[in-house]
Amino acid sequence: MFFESPGSLLWLLLGVPIVIFYILKIRLRRLPVSTVMFWTQVLEEQNPRSIWQRLRHLVSLLLQLAMLALLAFAVADPYFFWEARSARRIVIVVDNSASMNATDVKPTRLAEAKRQAEQWIAGMRHRDEFALVAAGIQPQVIVGFTSRQKTVSSAVQSLTTTDGPSQVADAVALARRLLGERQDGKQQEVVVFSDGRFSGVEELSSVLAPPSGGHEPPGTTDTLATSPTTNSTAQAPVKLQIIGTRAANLGITQFQVRRSLVDPLGYEILAEVTNASDQPVECRFEVDLNDEPIDVVPLKLDAGGKWSQVFEKTSASGGRLLATLKHDDALAADNTASAVLPRREIQPVLLVTSGNLFLQKVFEVNPLVKLTVVAEAPATVPAGTVVVYHRVAPEKLPAGQVFVIDPANATDLFAIGEQIANPIVTKQDKDSPLMSHVRMDNVLMPEARALTPILPEQTLILAEAVTKEPLFFAVNRPEGRVLVLTVNLDKGDLPLRTAFPITVANALHWFAGNKQDLRESLAAGSLATISSSDFARPAKSASLLLKSPAGELKPLPAIERMTIGPLDHCGVWSIIEDPGLADSGKATAPKISDKTQADESPLLEIACNLANATESDIRPPEELLANTVTTSPVLAGLGSRPVWFWLLLTGLVLTTLEWVMYQRRVIS
C-alpha cells in the first residue's frame, strides 16, 4: 500500500495525548456528598455488570485510538498498486448537434447520450479522471479533467441542444490534445456519444480497431445501435457509442431569398428539400410571407431524392418568409426554414434635364422611383431626394445624393477638360456594388469629356478609358454621395444596353445605402459579421441586444463592426435596442432588459436555418451499425470509493459505537 500524503501519518501522534488523557481520566472528578449510603444501595444492584464496567473504559480507549488511526490513515490517502495501475483518464465527447435532437430515441438522442454518459460517469473509480467535451458547432471543453464524479455529471446534465453542425472529429482531436497534455501512465480513452452523422466519421471509423473484448461484455438495447471500437494507435483509443436508428427524415436543406436584379419589387426564393430516408416520401411544401401563404407545392421525393426550386414573387413591403414542410418525422428543426426579405422603400428622384427620353424612362420604369422632371434645379431639394443633373450641373453641387450625367461644366467636385479621343471603357471596378451585374467593357462613351476629380482621395473610379481618364466615378463626400457619368446618351448605344438600367438601379441602391438586396439566411452555427450600416434605421441607443428566436437577450458590444454568434438555434435572430437605454440615449453599459419590453422593431433581422444535409440525414452510417454491440461501462463497484472513504466509514462506525457506549455508560 502506498500513501499519497505520508506526512499526514504524523497525526498518529495525537494518540499520545489520548492515552495521557485516558490515564488522567483515572483520577476522577471528586464530588462531596452528604452520605454515600443511598449510592451504595443503588450501586449494589448493578454489581453483576461490574466486570464490563471495569473493561469498558479500556475498550473506549482502544476505540478512540482506532478512530484516530483510521482518520490519520485516511488523511494520508492510501492507495493500492493495482489502483494506480488501473486508473483511467477518459474524455467523454457528447455530440449535441442538430441531428441529436431527433426523437427516434425517446425522448431525444441527446437525452439518451446524456443517460449513457451518466452510466460511464457512474463507473468512475477513485483515481479516475474524466473530462467532458461538447461536439456541437464548436468543440468546447465543458469541464476539464476532474476526479469529482458529481462535477462531470452536472456538466453532462448542463449540455444543451443546438441546431448547429456536428464537430465530432474536431472534438475528438481536442480530446486527444487534452489527453496528450498529461502522460503519467494512466489508461487514456475517448468515449464519443454521437449518432455518427458528422463529417469525418469515415476517417474516424477507419482508425478504429475491432472490439477488443476484455472488460466489455456484449449486450443490446431496443433502440440503440452501438459500435464499440478501440484505437490501437499511439493516440488515445476512441470508443464510439452510436445513438440512434436509421429513422427517416425530410428536411429543408436550402432556403434563401433575394431581391430580383431586374424587378425592383420582385424577389426570388431558392428552396431545396432533401429526403434522407430509404423510402419515397410525399409531403407539402408551404411558403408564407408574414404569415400569409404565398405558395404551396406538393412534393413527391424518391428515396434519397432532392427537390429544388426557385420561386419568383413580388412584394415591396418585405418581411419574414417561413417555409414549412408538412411532414412528421424524427427531426423537427429542418421542417421549417426562415428568410428575411428586405423592404423596398420608394425613392424620390428629381431629374433636372432639358429633355432625354432614355434617361426619363429608365427612372419611370422603376416602380420604386417617384420621379419629378424639371428643366431647372430648384433652390432647395427635399431631404432624401436623389437629384439627377443631366448636362447642366450647378458649380457647387448641393448636399445629398447627386447623379451627374454628361456634365457640360465643371463643378466643385471635378474639373472638365476636352473631349476624350477614344472614350471606350477599358477598365471597370468589378468589386464595386455600383458595377455589379454590369459589363461596360468596350462600351463607347461618345463625347465623353476628360474629368478631373478635385477630391481624389474621396473618389472611386468605376470605369475609365484607355487613356486613364475616368468615365464613371463616385465621390463619397460627407454631405452626400455623388456619381458622375460622362457620356452623351443621345449619341452612344449605352441606353440600349442592359447595363444602363442596371447601372441606374445600382446607383439608386447605392444612394439608398445599397443594403437591402440580400440578407442571406445563415446556416445554424454560423457567425455573422454586421456593422451599423446594415441596420434598417440608425440606432438611438449605443446599447444593443441580440435576441434569439427563443426570446433570450444577450448584450452586444457597442462597436461599429461586430461578429455575432455562433447562431446556434434555427429561427430569426434580431438585433434590437435596449429599451431601457434607448430613451435616455446614454451610452452606459448594456443591460439585459425584460423580454417583453424589447419588442421594438429590430434594427436587423438574421434568418438562421439548419440548412445542412448532413445533419438532416439522421441515419447513422450503416457500416457502424453493422457491428452492433453494446459497450457497457466498467462498473465501479467498491473501487469507486477510495481507501480513505472506507477508512472514514469505519471510523464513523467506531464513532457510533463509542457514542453508544458513552450513552450506555453515562446517559442511558
| Residue 51 interacts with another protein (CB under 8 A): yes or no | no
Q: Which residues face 239 on adjacent strands?
A: 191
Q: How far is the CB of 643 from another protein (least distance, A)?
A: 36
Which of the ranges 11-19, 41-49, 213-221, 254-262 carries the binding residues for another protein, by CB under 8 A? 41-49
| Residue 41 interacts with another protein (CB under 8 A): yes or no | yes
| Residue 21 interacts with another protein (CB under 8 A): yes or no | no
Q: Which one, 645 or 662, has the nearer CB to another protein?
A: 662
H helical segments located in 410-528: 499-511
Q: How far is the CB of 28 from another protein (least distance, A)?
A: 4
Q: Which one, 32 or 637, has the nearer CB to another protein?
A: 32
Q: How far is the CB of 45 from another protein (least distance, A)?
A: 7
φ, ψ of residue 344 to 5 degrees: the values are: -95, 130
Of 32, 107, 214, 637, which one interacts with another protein (CB under 8 A)?
32
Cα 205 to chain centroid, rounded: 26
| Residue 19 interacts with another protein (CB under 8 A): yes or no | no
Per residue, the 3-state secondary structure of 331-357, as one string, reads CCHHHEEEEEECCCCCEEEEEECCCCH
| Residue 107 interacts with another protein (CB under 8 A): yes or no | no
Which of the ranges 26-34, 174-182, 458-466, 480-488 carries the binding residues for another protein, by CB under 8 A? 26-34
Q: Alpha-carbon dihedral of residues 306, 311, 316, 322, nearest 10 degrees?
A: -30
Cα 404 to chain centroid, rounded: 47
| Residue 28 interacts with another protein (CB under 8 A): yes or no | yes
| Residue 53 interacts with another protein (CB under 8 A): yes or no | yes
| Residue 39 interacts with another protein (CB under 8 A): yes or no | yes
| Residue 59 interacts with another protein (CB under 8 A): yes or no | no
Rg (CA), the chain: 39
Q: Which one, 592 or 661, has the nearer CB to another protein?
A: 661
| Residue 477 interacts with another protein (CB under 8 A): yes or no | no
**E strands present in 66-156:** 78-79, 88-94, 129-134, 140-146
Q: How far is the CB of 18 from another protein (least distance, A)?
A: 16
Q: Which one, 46 or 596, has the nearer CB to another protein?
A: 46
Cα distances (Å, whole numbers) of residue 308 to 55, 481, 524: 93, 40, 20
Q: Characterize 229-267 residue by residue with b for buried, 16 or more Cβ atoms within 10 angstroms of its Cβ, and e for exposed.
A: bbbeeebbbbbbbbbbbbbbbbbbbbbbbbbeeeebebb
| Residue 34 interacts with another protein (CB under 8 A): yes or no | yes
| Residue 45 interacts with another protein (CB under 8 A): yes or no | yes
Cα distances (Å, whole numbers) of residue 542 to 90, 240, 478, 588, 603: 46, 48, 22, 8, 12
**Residue 547's closest CA among 556, 539, 538?**
556
| Residue 667 interacts with another protein (CB under 8 A): yes or no | yes
Pairing of strands 249-259, 425-428: unpaired
Q: How far is the CB of 56 from another protein (least distance, A)?
A: 9
Rounded-to-integer distance, Cα 548 and Cα 411, Å:
50
Which of the ranges 43-51, 61-69, 103-111, 395-403 carries the binding residues for another protein, by CB under 8 A? 43-51
Of 7, 16, 31, 457, which one interacts with another protein (CB under 8 A)?
31
Of 5, 20, 21, 38, which one interacts with another protein (CB under 8 A)?
38
**Residue 610's closest CA among 167, 283, 330, 255?**
255
H helical segments located in 76-207: 81-85, 109-122, 149-158, 168-180, 201-206
| Residue 343 interacts with another protein (CB under 8 A): yes or no | no
Q: Which amino acid would we find at residue 191?
A: V
Q: Which one, 595 or 664, has the nearer CB to another protein?
A: 664
**E strands present in 587-639:** 604-609
Of 51, 346, 626, 666, which one interacts with another protein (CB under 8 A)?
666
Q: How many residues bind another protein (CB under 8 A)?
A: 25
**Residue 86's closest CA among 45, 123, 33?**
123
Of 10, 13, 25, 233, which one interacts with another protein (CB under 8 A)?
25
User: How many C-beta atoms surround the C-beta of residue 299 within 10 A?
Assistant: 18
| Residue 550 interacts with another protein (CB under 8 A): yes or no | no
Which of the ranges 24-32, 376-384, 473-481, 561-569 carries the binding residues for another protein, by CB under 8 A? 24-32
**Residue 79's closest CA among 1, 154, 172, 190?**
1
Q: Which one, 54 or 396, has the nearer CB to another protein?
A: 54
Which of the ranges 42-50, 110-118, 437-445, 626-634 carries the binding residues for another protein, by CB under 8 A? 42-50
Q: Which amino acid would we find at residue 456?
A: P
Which of the ranges 23-31, 228-236, 261-269, 528-536 carries the binding residues for another protein, by CB under 8 A? 23-31
Which of the ranges 15-23, 32-40, 194-202, 293-301 carries the binding residues for another protein, by CB under 8 A? 32-40
Q: How far is the CB of 659 from another protein (least distance, A)?
A: 15
Cα 534 to chain centroid, rounded: 21
Of 13, 20, 23, 43, which one interacts with another protein (CB under 8 A)?
43
Q: Which one, 57 or 439, has the nearer CB to another protein?
A: 57
Which of the ranges 36-44, 155-163, 339-347, 556-564 carries the binding residues for another protein, by CB under 8 A? 36-44
H helical segments located in 549-603: 579-582
Give me the residues that bind another protein (CB under 8 A), please.
Answer: 25, 28-43, 45-46, 53, 664-668
